[in-house]
Amino acid sequence: MSQIPVITIDGPSGSGKGTVTGLVARQLGWHVLDSGAIYRVLALAAEQSGIAPTSEAALRTMALQLQVEFVDGKTLLGGADVGRAIRTESVGSYASQIASLEGVREGLLQRQRDFRQEPGLVADGRDMGTVVFTDAPLKIFLTASAEERARRRYLQLKEAGHSVNLPALVEEIRARDERDTNREVAPLKPADDAIVLDSTTLTIEQVVERVLAEATTRGLGS
């Protein structure tokens, strides 16, 4: 397998993976893979085409042909900017449903591995350490309580101008955890060799500092 280094950051929704991934990658000068964004774009495309979240064969074909690009901080689907549209809880929930299908995961696997480019990659998702980059020299499993994650998501969505309801968000996050953790294919769980970090009472800076310290210990990014 490739020797290009990868740091995997897996964990449940709202644990801070995306934020920490971006900051760690910036500090190291590495690339970023937001694998959840790819699942979300597929979910949006499927919704728009009226494909049911259970239509595995159609979703696998769509996964293999998906015209998704990440350009200058924008997420493009067939050239259209869908960065805002994919961030709703409804698309997140649809993404979580289709992500339980083996055909969908297979259809997206190589696309994710192609992000492994010099000088290195920080990969954010649910199965980065357990399936996609099993040989990563540093694997982090980032978590936080469901209430704290819902609170963070509430503030984030409100700030982005979405109308939100905190108790509904807690329920939504719990339902998504349940689906992501209990699915048969690539369930959300720490890799055996992952470092588990609970960020419930940590600031973003503290989490980033800890990840960078673990990277330094392994001689990464120096």
Ligand X SMILES: Nc1ncnc2c1ncn2[C@@H]1O[C@H](COP(=O)(O)OP(=O)(O)OP(=O)(O)O)[C@@H](O)[C@H]1O
Ligand Y SMILES: Nc1ccn([C@H]2C[C@H](O)[C@@H](COP(=O)(O)O)O2)c(=O)n1
For residue 126, the partner it binds in ligand X, ligand Y, none, with Cβ less than 5 to 8 A by kind, is: ligand Y
19 annotated as belonging to a binding site for a ligand: yes
* Ramachandran assignment for 161, one of left (phi > 0), alpha (psi -120 to 50 degrees), beta (any other): left
Q: What is the DSSP string of 58-119?
A: HHHHHHHH--EEEETTEEEETTEE-TTGGGSHHHHHHHHHHTT-HHHHHHHHHHHHTT--TT
Span interacting with ligand Y, options 55-63, 71-79, 91-99, 195-203, rule CB under 6 A: 91-99
Q: How far is 215 from 209, CA to CA, in rounded Å?
A: 10
17 annotated as belonging to a binding site for a ligand: yes
Q: Answer yes or no whether residue 35 interacts with ligand Y by CB under 6 A.
A: yes
Span interacting with ligand Y, options 44-52, 119-127, 143-151, 200-208, rule CB under 6 A: 119-127
Of 8, 19, 75, 96, the residue at the interface with ligand Y (CB under 6 A) is 96
Q: How far is 86 from 92, CA to CA, in rounded Å?
A: 7
Judge contact between 42 and 104, C-beta under 8 A.
yes
Span interacting with ligand Y, options 20-28, 121-129, 159-167, 190-198, rule CB under 6 A: 121-129
> Which string of x and - marks every residue 139-178 that binds ligand Y (by CB under 6 A)?
-------------------------------------x--
Q: How far is the CB of 179 from ligand X (least distance, A)?
A: 13
For residue 143, the partner it binds in ligand Y, ligand X, none, with Cβ less than 5 to 8 A by kind, is: none
DSSP summary character for residue 23: H
Annotated binding site for ATP: 11-19
